[in-house]
Structure 1
Amino acid sequence: MNFLRVRNKPWADGYIKAHADYIVIDPQNWLGKWQSRFEKSQPLDVEVGTGKGQFIIEMAKAHPDINFIGVELQKSVIATALRKFMTAPLPNLQFVLTDGANLDEFFHPDEVNKIFLNFSDPWPKKRHAKRRLTSPGFLKTYQTVLDPAGTIEFKTDNRGLFEYTLVTMNHYPMTFDYVSLDLHRSAENETNIQTEYEEKFSPNGPIYKLVAHFNA
């Protein structure tokens, strides 16, 4: 959802500093030490572009046997997610304020179990294609940090971005485990956890989803 206009929040800096136990602003310093930030060592799932946090918070609630990290570049946005989280903190969720393009700089190879990409900026202009979170450059980074059996889960309401993602993942190459052209009308929707953006805009059209893994 980072293509929406973000309003500056003057309180964000102070709030982030006051809750350093739950949010990281220097992720390179935690390379190889992420599990120490959680109550116990468990499989690690990462959401790139966590927005206001609804998805990752609800996932952490639903899966206490998994550790989650929500990565977000926009300080005001992640501060909002953190404030929402602090109403009922969970031992299996951490936030990271950084650019998701650099995952391989603060996660070891094969360290991540799953990557979630939810309603990423579509960057519709052709000259901006490399900025899309499912472009080949980003896929290379994800492949580095993902466990060989790990997966990417991708959701969007942008048909153009979805078609682009199908093509880039197929050519990479990757294998599709699940593809839906209308998630909310599928059986998968029974266990679907929505983002704030998804709740707001899904009445306007279908939600597309895919799950894929890298070929050995």
Structure 2
Amino acid sequence: MHIRPKPWARPELESCGFFQAYPPDHRGQWQQLFKKKQPLHIELGCGKGTFISQLGSSHPDINFLAIDLIDAVLGLTKRNIETAYANAEQPLDNVQIMSWDIERIDSILAPADGVERIYINFCNPWPRRRYQKKRLTHNKQLLKYKNLLAKDGEIYFKTDNDALFADSLKYFEQTGFTIKTLIPDLHTLTYPGNIETEHEKMYVEQGLKIKFLIASW
């Protein structure tokens, strides 16, 4: 996905109370940034924030971290979160956003943070074999998540890509996760609480099947 530069994004993020400019400073201490200590969920690759803005504003009883790499994207995330909370009339005190390379997630999160759920929505499928280790569901990443997740912690994964989904099922099995829910075509069922991302809406309009799973360990 090509994103045009947005010169306003970084200054706006720097002045935002829920943006963390250097996430490693909070490793093992993320709960201290929230008004209340409550379950911690994270979204990896939050994009423009369509998902996390709806999720966070409708679940004030959960704390959320949203991570993406590109400031131009996070600038839109920040604005979408603010809009969602204004419309929901909820205090914006349970979401933090940050720019970071997800491949190095273990440098910003620790087991002490007690992450209970990870969301991975429509990540880059990296179809070429030489790059598949970059997949957010690859074994090397899953082992990092497993170390961060609280016992019985969960990963929610959605994709439109058949090959990525099939390979991910193997990755989860190889790293000791249990598949609790497996839905090969999400939009033929009514799954409670599903929030469509901007990519999901686009893929559904194109007639693509959305694959969904919940894995735990």
| TM-score, normalisation: structure 2 | 0.92
Matching of residues 6-21 of structure 1 within 5 Å: 6-19=3-16, 21=17
Other-structure match for 1:161? 164
Question: In 1, Cα distance between the equivalents of 2:56 and 2:81?
Answer: 10
Question: Is residue 103–residue 145 contact of structure 1 (8 Å, CA) maintained in 2?
Answer: no
Q: Residue 36 in 1 paired to residue 38 in 2? A: no
| 1:86 positional shift | 2.4
Cα distance per residue 1:24-74 (max 9 Å; x no partner) = 121110122211221111110000000000111111122111101101011
Other-structure match for 1:94? 96
Letter in 2 for 1:92: N
Question: Is residue 49–residue 117 contact of structure 1 (8 Å, CA) maintained in 2?
Answer: yes
| 1:163 positional shift | 0.6
Letter in 1 for 2:138: S
Structure 2: 5+ residue runs without aligned partners? none
Structure 1: 5+ residue runs without aligned partners? none
Question: Is residue 44–residue 66 contact of structure 1 (8 Å, CA) maintained in 2?
Answer: yes
Instruction: Describe the SS at the equivalent of 1:155.
Output: strand
Question: Is residue 28–residue 111 contact of structure 2 (8 Å, CA) maintained in 1?
Answer: no
Other-structure match for 1:172? 175
Letter in 2 for 1:149: D
Q: After TM superposition, which residue ranges in structure 1, 4 or more long, deviate above 3 angstroms?
A: none
Q: Residue 182 in 1 paired to residue 185 in 2? A: yes
Question: In 2, Cα distance between the equivalents of 1:103 and 1:13?
Answer: 21
| 1:212 positional shift | 0.4
Question: In 2, Cα distance between the equivalents of 1:117 and 1:96?
Answer: 16
Percentage of pairs with the same residue: 36
Other-structure match for 1:26? 22
Question: In 1, Cα distance between the equivalents of 2:82 and 2:60?
Answer: 17
Q: Residue 68 in 1 paired to residue 70 in 2? A: no
Question: In 1, Cα distance between the equivalents of 2:65 and 2:158?
Answer: 18
Question: In 2, Cα distance between the equivalents of 1:182 and 1:62?
Answer: 25
Question: Is residue 66–residue 92 contact of structure 1 (8 Å, CA) maintained in 2?
Answer: yes
Question: In 2, Cα distance between the equivalents of 1:109 and 1:16?
Answer: 27
Corresponding pairs, count: 209
Question: Is residue 43–residue 65 contact of structure 2 (8 Å, CA) maintained in 1?
Answer: yes
Instruction: Describe the SS at the equivalent of 1:41.
Output: coil
Letter in 2 for 1:34: W
| TM-score, normalisation: structure 1 | 0.93
Matching of residues 114-129 of structure 1 within 5 Å: 114-129=117-132
| 1:173 positional shift | 2.1
Q: CA RMSD in A?
A: 1.2
> Which of 193, 202, 212 is equivalent to 1:200?
202
Letter in 2 for 1:28: P
